[in-house]
C-alpha cells in the first residue's frame, strides 16, 4: 500500500480523543483514521509518569501494527508526559495536543482565564511554561479536575454526577467572572455545553482539538503524506476495554460531538 493511503492513528486514554478525531475528520475528511481508546486503563490523569509513558508507548505500538502513517496523541496528559520521549523512540510523525492557552489569552487580554485539565497535565513543566508565557497577557487560573474524565467515560449514565461535579468545581470561581475557559483535557469538550450553562455571563470556551488537527494537516503536507483520494475516508474505532458497549459509546460520542 502507498504510504499516503495509510490511515492516521489517533489515541487517548479513552473516549476523550474523539473530540480531536472529529476535528481531524472535519478538516481532512478524505483521510482514513484508526482510533484507539485505552478505556481499560483510563484515567491516565492520576497515574505516575512511568505508567503513562508505558501505556502511551503500548498504544502507539498497537497503532503502528495497524500500519498508520502518523500518530495523533489526542490526550493532553500523555502529550505532556510522554510525547518527547516517544518521538525519540518511534520513527513516525507524532503530533500532540496542548491546552489552548494561547488563543484564549490573545482573545481576552487582561481578563481571567480558567484552565481545566488533569492534575498531571497542570503539574508538568510543559504547562507551567505555557502558563508563564501568557501570564502577562491574562490572569491564568489552573483548575485541576481529578475524576472528571472518568465520569465522562461513563456516558449518559453519569450525566447527573457530571453536572454536580462541575457545579461544585466552579462555585469558588463564579465571583471572578472568568472571560474564558480552556478545556485542557480532550474529554471535557464532550461536556462543554454543561460548563457554559453554569455561567450567567458569556464565557468563551477554547479547546486544543482544532489547533491539533491543523498541525496534523501541516505536518502531513510538509512530509508529502496527505491522502490523494477525493472520497470520504474510513474511521475505525478500537478500544482496550472488553466491554462490548464501549465501541457503541465511541460511535455515539463521535456522531453527536459538535466541534467548539
Residue 99 CB, nearest approach to ligand DGL (Å): 9
Among 21-29, 74-82, 154-162, 229-237, which window interacts with ligand DGL (CB under 6 A)?
74-82
The correct pick among 56, 186, 238, 246 for binding ligand DGL (CB under 6 A) is: 186
Residue 41 CB, nearest approach to ligand DGL (Å): 8
Q: Give the number of C-alpha atoms closer than 13 A to the C-alpha of residue 110, restricted to the C-beta side.
A: 0
Residue 73's DSSP bridge partners are 11
Q: How far apart are CA 122 and CA 117, in angstroms?
A: 6
The correct pick among 32, 121, 216, 238 for binding ligand DGL (CB under 6 A) is: 121
Closest listed residue to residue 45, CA positions, set 125, 143, 150, 126: 150
Residues with Cβ within 8 Å of 247's Cβ and at least 6 positions away in sequence, in order, are: 237, 238, 239
Q: Binding mask 129-168 vs ligand DGL (x if CB under 6 A, - otherwise)?
A: --------------------x-------------------
- Out of 25, 64, 75, 167, the active site residue is 75
Verify binding: residue 77, ligand DGL, rule CB under 6 A. Answer: yes
Q: How far apart are CA 56 and CA 164, in angstroms?
A: 31
Q: How far is CA 140 from the centre of its chain?
A: 20
Q: How far apart are CA 129 and CA 122, in angstroms?
A: 10
The correct pick among 7, 9, 10, 13 for binding ligand DGL (CB under 6 A) is: 13
Residue 179 CB, nearest approach to ligand DGL (Å): 23
Verify binding: residue 246, ligand DGL, rule CB under 6 A. Answer: no
Residue 162 phi/psi, 5-degree rounding, is: -65, -45
- Say whether 75 is catalytic: yes
Residue 139's DSSP bridge partners are 112
Verify binding: residue 75, ligand DGL, rule CB under 6 A. Answer: yes
- Whether the CB-CB separation of 251 and 237 falls below 8 Å is answered with yes
Binding site for ligand DGL (CB under 6 A): 12-14, 16, 42-45, 75-77, 118, 121, 149, 185-187
Residues forming the active site = 75, 185
Amino acid at each position: 500500500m502507498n504510504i499516503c493511503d495509510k490511515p492516521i492513528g489517533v489515541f487517548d486514554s479513552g473516549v476523550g480523543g474523539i473530540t480531536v478525531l472529529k476535528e481531524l475528520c472535519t478538516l481532512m475528511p478524505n483521510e482514513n483514521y484508526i482510533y484507539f481508546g485505552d478505556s481499560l486503563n483510563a484515567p491516565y490523569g492520576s497515574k505516575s509518569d512511568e505508567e503513562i509513558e508505558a501505556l502511551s508507548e503500548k498504544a502507539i505500538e498497537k497503532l503502528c501494527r495497524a500500519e498508520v502513517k502518523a500518530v495523533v496523541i489526542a490526550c493532553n496528559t500523555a502529550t505532556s508526559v510522554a510525547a518527547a520521549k516517544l518521538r525519540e523512540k518511534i520513527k513516525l510523525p507524532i503530533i500532540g495536543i496542548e491546552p489552548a492557552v494561547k488563543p484564549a489569552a490573545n482573545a481576552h487580554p487582561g481578563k481571567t482565564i480558567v484552565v481545566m485539565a488533569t492534575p498531571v497535565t497542570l503539574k508538568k513543566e510543559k504547562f507551567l511554561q505555557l502558563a508563564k508565557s501568557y501570564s502577562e497577557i491574562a490572569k491564568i487560573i489552573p483548575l485541576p479536575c481529578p475524576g472528571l474524565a472518568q465520569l465522562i467515560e461513563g456516558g449518559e449514565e453519569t450525566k447527573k454526577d457530571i453536572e454536580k461535579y462541575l457545579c461544585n468545581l466552579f462555585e469558588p470561581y463564579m465571583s471572578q467572572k472568568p472571560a474564558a475557559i480552556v478545556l485542557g483535557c480532550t474529554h471535557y469538550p464532550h461536556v462543554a455545553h454543561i460548563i457554559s450553562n453554569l455561567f450567567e455571563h458569556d464565557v468563551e470556551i477554547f479547546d486544543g482539538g482544532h489547533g491539533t488537527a491543523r498541525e496534523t494537516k501541516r505536518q502531513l503536507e510538509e512530509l508529502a503524506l496527505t491522502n490523494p483520494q477525493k472520497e470520504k475516508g474510513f474511521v475505525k474505532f478500537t478500544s482496550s476495554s472488553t466491554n462490548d458497549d464501549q465501541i457503541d459509546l465511541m460511535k455515539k460520542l463521535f456522531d453527536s460531538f459538535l466541534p467548539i
